[in-house]
Chains A and B, each alone.
Chain A
Amino acid sequence: MTIETVVSADDFDQPGEGKVRCEACPIRCFIKPGQTGSCDRYGNVDGVLTRMDPVVVLERAIDRGDEIVSFTGETSGSLVSSRLIASGAGTTYPDYKPAPFIVSSDHEGVDTVTVVTEGIFSYCGVKVKIDTDRHVGDETSAVLYEGQPVGHVSTTEYGSQMLSLGGVHHLTGLTKHAGLATMRALEELCEKRAVELQVEGGAHLVVQAGRAPIINGVTERRMRVGCGSATVGMFAGQWHELVDEVVVVDEHITGVLSEHQAGAVLGMRPTGIKIRGRRSTPGRIFNVAGPGSGWGGTTITDPLEVLLPFNKKHAWPGLRLLMTSTTGEDWAYYVLDENLQPVPTPTPADVLPTVEQISLNCEPALTSVVFMAGAGGSLRAGTTTSPIALTHSIHSGETRVTVGGAPVYLWPGGGITIMVDVERVPPSSFGHVPTPAIVAPLEFTVPRDRYLALGGHASSIRSLDDVVANERVRYVREQAKYSS
């Protein structure tokens, strides 16, 4: 038998259903849909060979009154102003190489350059603000996600409980599982998805940026109008002619109208009321009860528990007592009988609006998530050959830092430590690397002449049109707030 033809290996190498062939290196991987090649840099996305993660062009309608015309690729662009943000921009390796995109544009008449890159942040975390007075846990208690410690309960702020999650200690300093759990919790929260947390010795929480927190299974509806004392101060004028005494139950500072400065000024008569806890200043009582998920963030479900017997010298039968929480969600009305015992009584029609007024002055309870990270490290080298010059330029206000197009708060002092409201960052902007670390977009915008003076990578500057024509881009409409 003679061999007539020699079949080349390539003839057998026909791609299968939906596979693509990568030509980025001689391995020439055939990649199935949804998989990546042997280098993990290129993948098959719906049959198209793709440098993983497209870069995002943020579009803003110039004529804000009009419906935004959907960008199809053929639109002239006259209706929208576009800018490139770093979501999906990728990074360059090693650090000193110019950032993935250095884009020139005209920004309000100034020729500017925006350096667009993704940062890989080992030093990062989130601050979670939960609008509630309910006790979620003691300060410094560990916060668990997937059973692993990912942060701790921080301070109680005005009407809110703060959590501090992440940070380099939790990402890298504890066990592998704690690090990975921290990374996942941070990414979920930054991507504005709901996350279940358990506070050690405290509450079970479901938190999601821009949504009401769920505490021990109960959705929090309102954020309190103020502390108990402040509530008394705000509504004293409406109460003093309708009732003889008002107690606003609050874990921190319970307010008592007749004793409060507001009641005194209005000429209210002493009622002989006695409250558990520690008197701070007149009408302001601390520690009426332990922290809990009852009235005003206390353990109280029956408000009479905070009362001691009335002083017989001052109290009188028929005394009208209103008790309320700081949100107006819980309230009760009592009248003293001949033994000076408070008797539950239907709330009079003219008193009800005052309680309603508390509710109406409350804001909806939300969870807000602020991403905090240090961008002062090596990624600066992709922006300029003089990293310290970039830091100085940012602190002087000359170079503007944004995260996915969103403005940041820049911490004073050294480094480039920033905070950003994750709801202002478009979806799918945050990611992770298994280091573990969080990947977040970062843009530095600076006038072109200053960029060159900072030692910027002049030869890498491209126009936005060039990027749009030659790169895989994803269009996102700019919004004041994004949800997941």
Chain B
Amino acid sequence: MPGPSVGRLGDGRLHLQYGPIDLVITVEGDGDAEVRAEKAMEFRFRTILDELVDELPLLRADIASRPSPRGDVARRMVAATSDLHSGDFATSMVAVAGAVADTIADVGWASASLRRLIVNNGGDIAIRQVPHASTTVGVVDDVTSGRVVGRLHVAGDSGVGGVATSGWGGRSVSFGVADAVTVIARTAAEADVAASLIANAVDVPGHPAIERRRACDVKDDSDLGERLVTCGVGALDTDDVDRALDAGVVRAELALLSPAVIGVILCLQERRRFLLPSTVTID
């Protein structure tokens, strides 16, 4: 079995990859601090997938069954999912990408005095920065194409520690039809959960242009079992697009009641809704 791989991209960013985990990490500090943070993150990364695999059955269980795993990444996943599911069906796996990003980011941030640290796990991003710093995050309107349509400016004192995007298509699995839902939150794990659940709610149930298949027929061992997931979305008329986005906004407003969730952007077929606080700007 090939082990975890540690590499560096052409622009100097650290690249950690193992199985489905793919992290691109930006570290900014003075030279020694950068080296220390990178070494600490590489070390933590070595076992992270094994830890998750050890407790996979628990992590794939319905969150309503109140799983209590031991691992720290797993506990982050359960905590974020429990806080935000509000009765929706979910398993802790909904938080996995964000929780991995948070775990690595916190290790790097704690091990050295840095200006900024960004851990991007396939679009689920953990951000750690000093109060006077600022980070720009590209916002896509479609997870399949990855087309960047705006830039989100996250200030160091905004309380934002995570940005995540979910939608149907690409490697994401969704019950809904959102091309992209981006959530700005306290942590990447919380952003990940909220983005997935809000994207699930962007839907026009029963619409003939939406192709759905059982999750287990798409991926045999899917934790979503026989629930129907979206496999194709044809052109929807503007009324249907608005109806789907309205349903998503209702779910987003529920998520925004939690102190964890700071802002939400919903995109479907050229239409967008922005639910952002004044501390977060987009251009």
Contacts and interface: CB of A to CB of B under 8 A. Distances in A.
A453 interface: no
Contact residues of B: prevailing secondary structure: loop
B244 to A, nearest CB: 15
Interface string B136-153: 000001101111000000
Contact of B171 (A29, A40, A95, A179): A40
Interface string B1-18: 110000101100001001
Nearest to B9: A94
B220 A35 contact: yes
B220 A176 contact: no
A39 B1 CA distance: 15
B20 A38 contact: yes
Given A176-B145, A177-B235, A25 B20 contact: yes
A271 interface: no
A170 to B, nearest CB: 13
A177 B20 CA distance: 28
A232 B50 CA distance: 80
Contacts of B18: 25
Contacts of B50: 26
Contacts of B259: none
B269 interface: yes
A97 interface: yes
Contact of A24 (B2, B57, B221, B235): B2
Contacts of B145: 172, 176, 179-180, 434-436
Contact of B269 (A9, A30, A40, A176): A176
A332 B144 CA distance: 58
B219 interface: yes
Interface string B215-257: 0001111000000000000010000000000000000000000
A96 to B, nearest CB: 5
Given A24-B1, A176-B179, A435 B146 contact: yes
A378 interface: yes
A95 B50 CA distance: 27
B71 interface: no
Given A25-B20, A27-B53, A96 B10 contact: yes
B220 A32 contact: yes
Given A25-B1, A172-B145, A176-B269, A94 B220 contact: no
B53 A31 contact: no
B220 A30 contact: yes
A52 B266 CA distance: 34
Interface in A1-49: 9, 19, 23-32, 35-36, 38-40
B49 interface: yes
Contacts of B169: 434
Contact of B10 (A26, A95, A434): A95
Interface of B: 1-2, 7, 9-10, 15, 18-20, 49-50, 53, 56-57, 141-142, 144-147, 169-171, 179, 218-221, 235, 269-270
Chain A to chain B: the 3 pairs with minimum beta-carbon distance, closest first = A25-B19, A32-B220, A39-B20
5 contacts: A26-B53, A38-B20, A39-B20, A179-B145, A436-B145
Given A9-B57, A38-B19, 8 more contacts: A19-B220, A24-B2, A24-B19, A26-B50, A28-B53, A38-B20, A94-B15, A435-B145
